[in-house]
Amino acid sequence: MEIQSHTISVLVANEPGILARVVGLFSGRGYNIESLTVAETDARQSLSRITIVTKGTPMIIEQIKAQLDRLVPVYRVRDLTVEGPHIERELALVKVKGTGEKRVEALRLADVFRAKVIDAKADSFVFEVTGNSDKVQTFIGLMEALGLVDVGRTGIVAMSRGGEAL
Amino acid sequence: MKPEESATTGADLLVKALIDEDVEVIFGYPGGAVLPIYDSLFKQNRLRHILVRHEQAAVHAAEGYARSTGKVGVVLVTSGPGATNAVTGLTDALMDSIPVVCLTGQVPTHLIGNDAFQEADTTGITRPCTKHNYLVKAVENLARTVHEAFYVARSGRPGPVVIDLPKDVLMNKHDYTAPPKVAVEHKSYRPQTKPDPKKIAQAIEMIAHAKRPIFYAGGGIINSGPKASKLLAQFVHMTGYPITNTLMGLGSFPASDKQFLGMLGMHGTYEANLAMHGCDVMINIGARFDDRITGNLTKFSPGSKKIHVDIDPSSINKNVRVDLAVVGDAGLVLEEMIKLWKAKQPKVDLKALKAWWAEIEKWRGRNCLAYKPNKETIKPQYALERLYHHIKDKDHYITTEVGQHQMWAAQFLKFEQPNRWMTSGGLGTMGYGFPAAMGVQIAHPDALVIDVAGEASIMMNIQELSTVAQYQLPVKIFILNNHYMGMVRQWQELLHGGRYSESYSESLPDFVKLADAFGAVGLRCHEPDKLDGVIQEMIKIRKPVVVDVLVDEAENCFPMIPSGAAHNEMLLGPDDKAGKVSDEGMVLV
């Protein structure tokens, strides 16, 4: 059976231990987590949104969704990959150290990728780059030759296109 | 009244909340962190507390209580070791979908995370072995949490719920919150119990057009309540189709009914397994295609269309891909199916059905549970046949430990009603049966409650003899003593060249003297012709009784589907030689 990558959005009650429940479910049942993001999205109702990118056969993906939905503090589970077009974004902070031509080239490429300089020293930059994972990965790849020293990535956040809420 | 005047301690609130949840019995063991609760229990007389001798037994007792009554079983243990000892029981309840609420003590909130005395991360440890768990950090949330926990434990697919209670929360004061009079929907947890009518219509269509149908019903029927069993029998009779039960489903359909093919699976009957293999429409109601049932998945019932009725959507398409999934409570689904069947009056292909029954009768004719009786030694099967003969007209409940004796009990005792059979199916917990029997006996004080045990399993919770002595619970422990961990020995014989590594029950106690030491009655039997008398005596004694039945040491449990084999590759007896077990088969449990 074909292994597919799926982006799943999960709306959960923001209560202690909820992330452990979700992560424990993945490790306990041997599912993959490619990327995971989580933060409170509705303080009034105390809701968090978890975005998980996972891999598996269609049967496993179906299981993952059913198992997530079974957790008591889970409100909704949506498979964005299946349910029509959606947008994925990731943010990375990329630290590049170097001087001279390499430094200029890094700055030039950052411009091409619309990465922002958010910290600058005489011999280093920290860039903030946003986009889909491919773009972020490509940018990081290019920086490797130009003095890449540190990377931090948020993991993917995603949302369906159009007016519908999760 | 001012709030301060009406305010009560967390422990008193807890007791009040339990009473409001119709709790009558708690199985527990005290300790430092739960002293305030025990103090509250001391000051009231609505809740009965049963003092067990090990926390694992408290959970199994609550499971037995729950499964034999349909109510939620309640456990109370202290922090740290109290909670960790309960983990096996909780996992058992999770695997078999038994509603249990387990109250665990915890160190005071300001000490949590400090490695305090008897501290354990109880919610962390029990997260994967409960349906849900709670840490109550403030007394104002306590009563509401208890009510929610009971709702979660018993609704949807039932399961164990832990409430972790820090000691300061139990001492702090607050007003009581009564359970909501009208059921309010939980904010995020809303199990689907009513089936989709479209799916019911599709199911009826498939069922009506079947030529070689079979019903395959499991524990979901029992969990739905006794009405579901009645509906199941009604529907099965309406269709005239054969039915088999899983281990957990035994009793959901009367065993004496001629449409019943017995249990299916690894040690199921020949006719049940071959009917599963050869059917064209399989109607699974409340069972989960467990690996003990399916055997080799790639060869499982290859030619059938499968209908799966389950209250838990995650059970569907987990192991076996089905053609039609009906999510809902087994009882409600059966009700709708019967309604539609009556309305439609479908014409079943009677000719095909007759041919199908003829084939089944041929398989049945193999008499797969036959064994070679012996005049000198008691065959375990014979012991159970005689046991059943003497109890069948009495109000009785059976529990078991885990192993060969469990499978023989499932094969040779006949279950006519639901909630009469308590066994550890999913987790396979040795040591389950005796404490479970205590729980059953507490719920049904006048009934005959028998734990069918092995001599190895019974040692795992033998300390509970002290509990049954204290409360004078007339539980009978019927040990089929073959001096081996029988199922381990059987697998070593079949798969590991007869190298009986560590499976001999060395240095067993004298069970008769042991019973005596605990204030119970001990009986022993090793001659087949004395067995009836011993069983009758056991039944007559209104005290806890341990019966040590010395049985054939070499007897194996048949029929058997060897690891990695399919339903139509069963071994029927010791003369049936298994083909070489495949490498894939060898790694299976």
Angstroms from B318 CA to nearest CA on chain A: 6
Tell me the Cα Rg of chain A: 19
AA identity, residue B327: V
Q: Residue B580: its pLDDT value, please?
A: 67
Burial of B280 (0-12, 13-18, 19+ CB in 10 A): middle
Q: Residue B519: its pLDDT value, please?
A: 97
Q: How far apart are CA B401 and CA B422, in angstroms?
A: 9
Burial of B481 (0-12, 13-18, 19+ CB in 10 A): buried
The token pair that represents A1 in the structure block: 């059976």
ipTM above 0.85, yes or no: yes
Whether the Cβ atoms of residue B90 and residue B84 lie closer than 8 Å to each other: no
The token pair that represents B199 in the structure block: 């799916």
The token pair that represents A73 in the structure block: 């503090």
* Count of CB atoms situated within 10 Å of the CB of B542: 10
* Count of CB atoms situated within 10 Å of the CB of A153: 17
Whether the Cβ atoms of residue A31 and residue A61 lie closer than 8 Å to each other: no
Burial of B308 (0-12, 13-18, 19+ CB in 10 A): buried
Q: How far apart are CA B402 and CA B486, in angstroms?
A: 10
B190 Cβ neighbours under 8 A, 6+ residues apart? none
Query: Which of B152, B186, B317 lies at the smallest CB-CB distance from A59?
Result: B317
Nearest to B310 by CA among B337, B292, B283, B335: B283
Task: Locate all alpha helices (DSSP H) within B96-141, ordered by sequence.
Answer: 122-126
Whether the Cβ atoms of residue B228 and residue B252 lie closer than 8 Å to each other: yes
pTM of the model: 0.96
AA identity, residue B132: H
Q: How far apart are CA A62 and CA A43, in angstroms?
A: 30
Query: Which of A20, A66, A71 lies at the smallest CB-CB distance from B313?
Result: A66
Strand partners, A127: A94, A117
Query: Which of A24, A69, A75 lies at the smallest CB-CB distance from B127?
Result: A24
Strand partners, A7: A53
Angstroms from A125 CA to nearest CA on chain B: 40
Given the structure tokens 């609130």, which residue do they identify?
Answer: B13
Cβ-Cβ contacts under 8 Å, A14 against chain B: none
Nearest to B275 by CA among B567, B548, B8: B567
Cβ distance A72 to B124 less than 8 Å, yes or no, reads no
The token pair that represents B131 in the structure block: 């349906």
Angstroms from A72 CA to nearest CA on chain B: 5
Helix (H, G, I), strand (E, B) or coil at A153: strand
A70 interface with B at CB cutoff 8 Å: yes
Given the structure tokens 């499968």, which residue do they identify?
Answer: B306
For chain A, positions 71-90, list CB contacts with chain B under 8 A: 71-75
Cβ-based contacts under 8 A for chains A and B: 43
Task: State in Å, rounded, how far the first CA of chain B is from the last one.
Answer: 63
Task: From residue B532, give the alpha-carbon distance in Å to each of A105, B127, B327, B407, B410.
Answer: 95, 48, 47, 22, 20
Q: Which residues of A119-130 are buried (b: 16+ CB within 10 A; e: fewer)?
A: eeeeebbbbbbb
B583 Cβ neighbours under 8 A, 6+ residues apart? none
Query: Which of A59, A70, A73 lies at the smallest CB-CB distance from B321?
Result: A59
B174 Cβ neighbours under 8 A, 6+ residues apart? B7, B8, B10, B13, B139, B140, B142
Query: Which of A16, A28, A72 lies at the smallest CB-CB distance from B188?
Result: A72
Query: Which of B123, B314, B321 lies at the smallest CB-CB distance from A67?
Result: B314
Cβ distance A62 to B317 less than 8 Å, yes or no, reads yes
Check whether the bond before B346 is cis (ω within 30° of 0).
no
AA identity, residue B549: V
Q: Residue B6: its pLDDT value, please?
A: 63
Task: Report residues of chain B scoring pLDDT below 50.
Answer: 1-4
Task: From residue B290, give the alpha-carbon distance in Å to each of B268, B320, B427.
Answer: 13, 9, 11
A30 interface with B at CB cutoff 8 Å: no
A1 interface with B at CB cutoff 8 Å: no
B189 interface with A at CB cutoff 8 Å: yes
- Strands A4-13 and A74-79, by their bridges, are antiparallel
Angstroms from A66 CA to nearest CA on chain B: 5
Query: Which of B152, B314, B321 lies at the smallest CB-CB distance from A72?
Result: B152
Whether the Cβ atoms of residue B123 and residue B162 lie closer than 8 Å to each other: yes
Cβ distance A63 to B314 less than 8 Å, yes or no, reads yes
Residue B457 is classified by DSSP as G
User: Most B CBs within 10 Å: which of A27, A72, A74, A166, as the mutation test of the B interface?
Assistant: A72
In A, minimum Cα distance to B156 occurs at: A70
Q: Residue B200: its pLDDT value, please?
A: 98
The contacts found for A79-82 with CB under 8 angstroms, 24 or more apart, are A79/A6, A79/A7, A79/A8, A80/A6, A80/A7, A80/A8, A80/A9, A80/A158, A80/A159, A80/A160, A81/A4, A81/A5, A81/A6, A81/A7, A81/A8, A82/A6
Task: Locate all alpha helices (DSSP H) within B26-174, ordered by sequence.
Answer: 35-42, 55-69, 81-95, 122-126, 142-154, 167-171
Please provide the DSSP assignment of B370-409 as one string.
-----SSSB-HHHHHHHHHHHHTTS-EEEEE-SSHHHHHH
Cβ-Cβ contacts under 8 Å, B152 against chain A: 72
Cβ-Cβ contacts under 8 Å, B318 against chain A: 63, 66
Burial of A85 (0-12, 13-18, 19+ CB in 10 A): exposed
Cβ distance A16 to B135 less than 8 Å, yes or no, reads yes
Cβ distance B188 to A13 less than 8 Å, yes or no, reads yes
User: Most B CBs within 10 Å: which of A15, A46, A70, A77, as the mutation test of the B interface?
Assistant: A70
Cβ distance A70 to B312 less than 8 Å, yes or no, reads yes
Q: Residue B3: its pLDDT value, please?
A: 47
Cβ-Cβ contacts under 8 Å, B128 against chain A: 24-25, 28
* Count of CB atoms situated within 10 Å of the CB of B112: 16
Angstroms from B191 CA to nearest CA on chain A: 8
The token pair that represents B391 in the structure block: 């109890």
A21 interface with B at CB cutoff 8 Å: yes
A17 interface with B at CB cutoff 8 Å: yes
Whether the Cβ atoms of residue B106 and residue B160 lie closer than 8 Å to each other: no
Whether the Cβ atoms of residue B289 and residue B218 lie closer than 8 Å to each other: no
Burial of B196 (0-12, 13-18, 19+ CB in 10 A): middle
In A, minimum Cα distance to B314 occurs at: A66
Task: Report residues of chain A scoring pLDDT below 50.
Answer: none
Read off the pLDDT of residues B51-98 as tens digits, 9 standing for 90 and up.
999 999 999 999 999 999 999 999 999 999 999 999 999 999 999 999
Taking phi first (over 0 means left), then psi (-120 to 50 degrees means alpha), and beta for anything else, what does residue B483 get?
A: left
Share of chain A above pLDDT 70, in %: 100
B185 interface with A at CB cutoff 8 Å: no
Q: Which residues of B are identified as catalytic? A: 55, 117-118, 167, 487
DSSP H or E run through B174: strand B173-174
Given the structure tokens 């000490």, which residue do they identify?
Answer: B111
Cβ distance B135 to A13 less than 8 Å, yes or no, reads no
